[in-house]
Structure 1
Amino acid sequence: MVLVTAVRDYITRMLSDISGMKVLILDSQTVSIISVVFSQSELLQKEVFLVETIESGAKESMTHLKAVCFLRPTSENFQHLKKVLTNPRFGEYHLYFSNILKNSQIQILGDADEHEVVQQVQEFYADFLAIDPYHFTLNLSSNHVYMLPAVYDPSSMQQICDRMVQGISTIFLALKRRPAIRYQRTSEISRRLANELARLMYEEESHLFDFRRTEMSPLLLIIDRRDDPVTPLLNQWTYQAMVHELIGIRDNTVNIKEASKLDKAQQEVVLSSEQDSFFKANMHENFGDLGMNIKKMVDEFQQKAKSNQNIQTLEDMAKFVEHYPEYRKMHGNVSKHVTMVTEMSRIVDERKLMSVSQIEQDLACNNVGQAAAFEAVTNELNNDSMVEIDRLRLVMLYALRFEKENPQQLELLVNKLASRSASYKPGLVHTLLEQAGTDKRTGDLYGNRDLLNRARNMARGLKGIENVYTQHQPLLYQTIESIVKGRLRDVDYPFIGNHFQHGRPQDVVIFIIGGSTYEEARTVALQNASNNGTRVILGGSVVLNSAKFLSDLEEIHRLGRINTFQ
């Protein structure tokens, strides 16, 4: 059972079991959980008359309607529920919670339900955003906290850890499996999260996770974003990843504010692999192939439009009316994807990203020597048409790749960056190295430590790369390959407790503290499509693009400076 299907099944059961007109009451986070898997038209088909948030505090009484509440079991939501149940607006309340309830919370509901309007209370385990069938996120608001020492802000660290425990545990409750747990040894927060999840699954709530045993337990692997800082710094050239990098995707919605000559309806569009067949077929295609596929779609639409214009008989009109919803949907899809690609083409041309990206790929894929890399980056920094974020990313990629070689030249680049960028924060490049430099990383990021990886890189170089802009493979690719082949080293990724695993797991959930990327989600999708007997699910605290990764880094840099001066 994949993630989108799991959440859709919960929502369908929730809305189908209660007959008649309904009001759906959500909180600020369950709004997102539902919106990525269910469209508004689908909610209408389930007789949902109105959607409200529990925080809105609406006053109008509608006792003829039934309220279906889908909420996270937070203390804030229970405070809202107490007020709602003290003075109920609806005739019935059906309460569904996205996670495990505490006995004290059930007691609060019992005490507050003086009017006996609560008809049922259930736990439906969907405390995560299933943005794609094999990719989920938690949308953490303070994502930078994972880079802080635990002693810096213990309460914030605990809140982040609690939310990750809640989200990951419901993945396994939804899948009805209990995993063996491994974590990245060099990451303190990975170890802490792994221990807290093990305590929940094997001790505190062990009865909930006591599912039918299988020959091979699924694997949960918890890793730290700092082990691969390169992937979120790169420009992307496949559809979904490129949209997120250049425009931004939030809960499968894209806001194209800067695109010219757009009406308001076109400024916000949905990109969902479940609701859009063209996007599903092309989300992992590179930009060149995408352009050709969009042209085919436009040609098909024009043929359809031409045939619709040829209405001469009542029978022709009847056929047109019958197929009109499909025609309108096709029209909307064509318009949406043409707009998206047009806007991205404009940004690529404006920022000269093809030139920038070629140097990025050379730096990321170890295909260039230090002297040549220094010259290439220096030339780009001198280019007046470059925008500041592209200059910063290039210097950071150079710093990560050549951290131990000729530090004087790195300082020259950093100084040039500072002189060309009005907003550059001095020391930010060094903050990146402090957080994610070679001494802090577990994996073989550049494939130059391990003989097998060096041979693989040499073979790739000899065979040539079909597309120079998409030659990079995230470190996650190696990690998955090691899991599938049973080569993931216990010393680097130890198991928690006595729950060891021998052989190849059929199901693997990899959670990246600090955020996943759409490039990594593509790697997982291609792995699953290969049908090699192992299914991988990817999750993260947020979905990163370079802007988000840099903003998290800037916040750590700022906090570090404050701490220095105190």
Structure 2
Amino acid sequence: MVVTSSARDYINRILQDISGMKVLILDSQTVGVVSVVYSQSELLQKEVFLVELIDSISKSSESMSHLKAVYFLRPTSENIQFLRRQLPNPRFGEYHLFFSNILKDTQIHILADSDEQEVVQQVQEFYADFVAIDPYHFTFHVPSHYIYMLPAVVDPSTVQRFCDRVVEGLAAVFLALKRRPVIRYQRTSDIAKRIAQEATKLMYQEESGLFDFRRMEVSPLLLVIDRREDPVTPLLNQWTYQAMVHELIGIQDNKVDLKSIGKFPKDQEEVVLSSEQDPFFKANMYENFGDIGMNIKRMVDEFQQVSKSNQNIQTIEDMAKFVDNYPEYRKMHGNVTKHVTLVTEMSKIVDERKLMSVSQTEQELACNGGQGAAFEAVTNLLNNESVSDLDRLRLVMLYALRYEKDSPVQLMQLFNKLASRSAKYKPGLVQFLLKQAGVDKRMGDLFGNRDLMNIARNMARGLKGVENVYTQHQPLLFQIMENIVKGRLRDVDYPFVGNHYQQGRPQDVIIFIVGGTTYEESRSVALQNANNTGIRFILGGSSVLNSKRFLKDLEEAQRVARSSTTVV
């Protein structure tokens, strides 16, 4: 049960049976689906000589009858209408239409009626309607992402579109994996409940024939939860490689855009970070920052040895050997340059923003008690000129989430200090976070200070010490997975939908977070799977968060909530 393999198999099947020169036409969503599992050189091997977005194709009228057009699109009404306009006056010799999700009967009729020239060779559904970032991590990149925070305030049709996109994506994931799950949801989340109910209706009623796979002894589990149950994880700085790159620079569909942080040679402005395509990254993506530095040094030393041997060309045979190995040499050179550049740039950011001091306080707030010491540490950092506005805001948010009921006076002092020190401070944003995800809204034991088991675990960890003070935090997702493995996930907190219950422990579990996942959580899933407990976990979300994205969603939700209140 690996999402990258499922998505890659679909793209293989799309391209391998169509011989000759091809143009691959994608939309804004499927371009991400393809790019994370297929490289440019692999597309060329499949005789794909042109990759275009459907928007740019619609603006051109140039005839390309020598090419076969392979469309891979989401089955949206916009995409169907585009094809309806293009098919009567075809630009390409053949049309092969593949859709990433379930087509409606009416859409099939529209395509059939539009194919007046009979250029459409095939129409197929290949269920890759998700971006498979890593083997056990996928996302949908849902637009207007903040909607999950305000289901009662936002226009009902907008909420419905959000839910429809998530449900369609989940359906595609399970069709790709050839599974039909039983579905549970977080009791305290209206949006999670709605998505769970609509997904159940689709899989068990509306499209039950499509999901009629071979019955398993214990059905897979889909658990739908809400980001607001753990607002701490997306607010923390990260110190493992993949998560740290996303937090400090940003990753979009396994690509890192370096133009935003400095000037780089043209071929280094965007680099790929993929566990499927980069062995060094695969081996180090979950390692901490200190170990990464040493491992990169070893890689540089190995490359220097290879470079020296290549400089020692004295015979025709040496030259022929170098030419044969040249592609591998260039690839190695590019990889070394990429990782050295990323680590160098992140080191600069860490130093400029004093992130080691900031992060140590963050981890203390997230993992340990001691309100007095925490208040003093946060106050000192708010007064530090080197600490950025973003880091000040996150520190106050973490303090507020931890001590909102314990220290209202100190909390107000921090609000006032933040407002006076940070020019970009958004009034009321911390209070809005507490309204959305404060202790009264959460049902889980986020800080491990309610449940006796969690208190004992935290005490034991404190006595033993932690391997790294900067990576001691564990997301709430870790607790949820642990409860599933031990059969302790309570029905009252995470009810089943309908009459579809689970007898026994599932072997396959997909946990979907409405509101977005983090790379810290995907690391927890990968490490959990490596423990061989007999359960395979996959993590999915409506987007992939870093602290900037989470705060942007929060600001958007606050703006919409205020405007709706004003209208009322």
Contact 2:511 2:539 in 1 (8 A): yes
In the TM superposition, what is the alpha-carbon distance from 1:261 to its structure 2 partner? Answer: 5.1
- 1:166 counterpart residue number: 168
SS in 2 for 1:235: coil
Q: Distance in 2 between matches of 1:337 and 1:20?
A: 37
| 2:2 corresponding residue in structure 1 | 2
Match of 1:253 in 2: 255
Sort the Cα spacing of 1:391 and 1:34 in 2 relative to 1 into closer, same or farther, 3 A.
Answer: same
* Structure 1 residue 561 displacement after superposition: 2.1
Equivalent-residue separation in structure 1 for 2:263 and 2:427 (angstroms): 39
Q: Distance in 1 between matches of 2:292 and 2:543?
A: 26
In structure 1, give the amino acid aligned to 2:546: N
Q: Which is worse superposed, 197-206 or 14-23?
A: 14-23
The whole-number CA distance in structure 2 between the counterparts of 1:541 and 1:318 is 51
Distance 1:506 1:217 in 2: 8
CA contact (8 A) 1:55 1:80 kept: no
- Could you list the runs of 4 or more consecutive aligned residues of structure 1 that deviate by over 4 angstroms after TM superposition? 258-261
Match in the other structure for 2:28: 28
Equivalent residue, structure 2, for 1:522: 523
Partner of 1:411: 412
- The 8 Å contact of residues 141 and 543 in structure 2, kept in 1 or not, is answered as yes
SS state of the match for residue 82, structure 1?
Answer: helix
CA distance in 2, matches of 1:396, 1:430: 9
Partner Cα distance (2:423, 2:173) in 1: 44
Confirm or deny: 8 A CA contact 1:272 1:279 kept in the other structure: yes
1:19-64 deviation digits (Å, cap 9, x = unpaired)? 1111111111111110111011000000011111222112211212
- For residue 311 of structure 1, the aligned residue among 310, 313, 329 is 313
Please give the alpha-carbon distance, in whole angstroms, between the structure 2 residues aligned to 1:383 and 1:335: 34
1:511 and 2:512 correspond? yes
- Alignment-derived partner of residue 389 in structure 1: 390
CA RMSD of aligned residues (A): 0.9
1:238 Cα offset (Å): 0.2
Partner residue, 2:200: 198
Aligned residues: 565
Counterpart residue number, 2:551 = 550
Contact 1:418 1:426 in 2 (8 A): yes
CA distance in 2, matches of 1:368, 1:414: 21
- Aligned to 1:454, the other structure's residue is in SS state helix
Cα deviation digits, residues 191-245 of structure 1 (max 9, x gap): 0000000000000000000000010110000000000000000000000000000
Give yes or no for the alignment of 1:378 onto 2:379.
Answer: yes
Distance (Å, rounded) in 2 between the aligned partners of 1:106 and 1:157: 27
Q: Provide the residue aligned with 1:449 in structure 2.
A: 450
Aligned partners of 1:305, 1:192: CA distance in 2, in Å?
59
Q: CA-to-partner distance for each residue in 1:298-341, whole Å, 9 max, x for gaps?
A: 00000000000000111111111111000000000000000000
The worse-fitting range, judged by mean Cα deviation, of 146-155 and 16-25 is 146-155
Counterpart among 258, 271, 274 of residue 273 in structure 2: 271
> What is the CA deviation profile of residues 515-552 of structure 1, one whole-angstrom value per residue up to 9, with x for unaligned ones?
00000000000011111111000000000000000001
One-letter amino acid of the counterpart of residue 495, structure 2: P
Following the alignment from structure 1 to structure 2, what is the Cα–Cα distance between the partners of residues 529 and 108?
A: 48
Aligned to 2:223, what secondary structure does the other structure show?
A: strand
Distance 1:343 1:230 in 2: 26
Three-state SS of the structure 2 residue aligned to 1:232 is helix
Which consecutive residues of structure 2, in runs of 5 or more, have no partner in the other structure? none
| 2:87 partner SS | helix
2:66 to 50, 64, 77: 64
Is 2:343 the counterpart of 1:341?
yes
- The letter for the 1-side match of 2:349 is I
Deviations 1:409-456 (A, max 9, x none): 101100100000111111111000000001111211011111111110
Asked if the contact 1:351–1:385 (Cα under 8 Å) also holds between the matched residues in 2, the reply is yes
* Distance change >3 Å, CA 258–CA 129, structure 1 → 2: closer
Q: Matched residues in 2 for 1:461 and 1:88: separation?
A: 68
Letter of the structure 1 residue corresponding to residue 22 of structure 2: K
Instruction: Pick the aligned partner of 1:239 from 233, 238, 241.
Output: 241
Partner in structure 2 of residue 11 of structure 1: 11
Distance (whole Å) between structure 2 residues aligned to residue 229 and residue 157 of structure 1: 21
Higher mean displacement: 316-325 or 552-561: 552-561
| CA offsets 1:66-92 (integer angstroms, 9 cap, x no match) | 111101000000111011101101111
Q: What residue number does 1:140 align with?
A: 142
CA drift of 1:502 comes to 2.5
Task: Give the superposition deviation at 1:151.
Answer: 4.5
Report sequence identity in percent: 75
- Determine helix, strand or coil for the equivalent of 1:405: coil
Is the CA contact 2:432–2:558 (under 8 Å) kept in the aligned structure 1?
yes
1:52 aligns with 2:84: no
CA distance change for structure 1 residues 160 and 258 in 2, over 3 Å: closer, same or farther? closer
Q: Which stretch of the first structure deviates more once superposed, 61-70 or 390-399?
A: 61-70
| C-alpha separation in 2, matches of 1:143 and 1:259 | 25
What are the equivalent positions in structure 2 for 1:324-339 lying under 5 Å apart?
A: 324-339=326-341
Question: Could you tell me how far apart the structure 1 residues matched to 2:484 and 2:206 are?
Answer: 29
| Deviation (angstroms), 1:150 | 2.9
Task: Choose the corresponding residue for 1:99, options 94, 98, 101.
Answer: 101
Residue aligned with 1:331, SS: helix
Instruction: Deviation per CA, 1:253-308: give whole Å up to 9, x if none.
Output: 10112444521211110101101000000000000000000000000000000000
The aligned amino acid for 2:71 is C
Q: Which amino acid aligns with 1:536?
A: F
For residue 287 of structure 1, what is the aligned residue in structure 2?
Answer: 289
Q: How big is each residue's C-alpha offset from its partner over 1:471-497, in whole Å with a ceiling of 9 and x where there is no partner? A: 000000000000011000000000001
Give the Cα–Cα distance (whole angstroms) in 2 for the partners of residues 560 and 177 of structure 1: 39
Cα contact 2:350–2:356 (8 A) shared by 1: yes
Residue 467 of structure 2 is matched in structure 1 by 466
Q: Aligned runs of 1:203-222 on 2, under 5 Å?
A: 203-222=205-224
Aligned equivalents of 2:217 and 2:554: distance in 1? Answer: 43
Instruction: Provide the rounded CA distance (Å) in 1 between the counterparts of 2:8 and 2:516.
Output: 24
Once structures 1 and 2 are overlaid, which stretch shifts more, 389-398 or 2-11? 2-11
Pair 1:39-2:39 in alignment: yes
Helix, strand or coil at the partner of 1:552: helix
1:22–1:50 contact (8 Å) kept in structure 2: yes
| Separation (CA, whole Å) in 2 of partners of 1:293 and 1:101 | 48
Per-residue displacement from partner, 1:451-472 (whole Å, max 9, x unpaired)?
1111101100011001000000
For 1:18, give the aligned amino acid. Answer: I
Task: Determine the C-alpha separation between the residues in 2 that align with 1:13 and 1:555.
Answer: 40
Question: Is contact 2:151-2:191 (8 Å) kept?
Answer: no
Matched residue type, 1:322: D
Task: Provide the C-alpha distance between the structure 2 equivalents of 1:154 and 1:449, rounded to a whole number of angstroms.
Answer: 36
Greater CA drift, 550-559 or 97-106: 550-559
| 1:520 partner letter | E
Partner Cα separation in structure 2 for residue 253 and residue 372 of structure 1: 40
Cα distance in 1, alignment partners of residues 262 and 253 from structure 2: 23
- 1:349 and 1:113 map into 2 onto residues whose CA distance is 61
C-alpha separation between the residues in 2 aligned to 1:150 and 1:22? 47
Cα distance in 2 for partners of 1:258, 1:211 equals: 47
Q: CA deviation at 1:564?
A: 3.0
- Structure 1 counterpart of 2:165, one-letter code: R
Secondary structure of the equivalent of 2:298? Answer: helix
Distance 1:523 1:156, change over 3 A: same
**Residue number in structure 2 paired with 1:498:** 499
Shift in Å, 1:563: 2.6
TM-score where L is the length of structure 2: 0.98
Matched-pair contact (CA < 8 Å) for 2:433–2:554: yes
For residue 249 of structure 1, what is the amino acid of its counterpart? I
Q: Distance in 2 between matches of 1:399 and 1:65?
A: 60
Q: Name the SS of the counterpart of 1:442 in structure 2.
A: coil
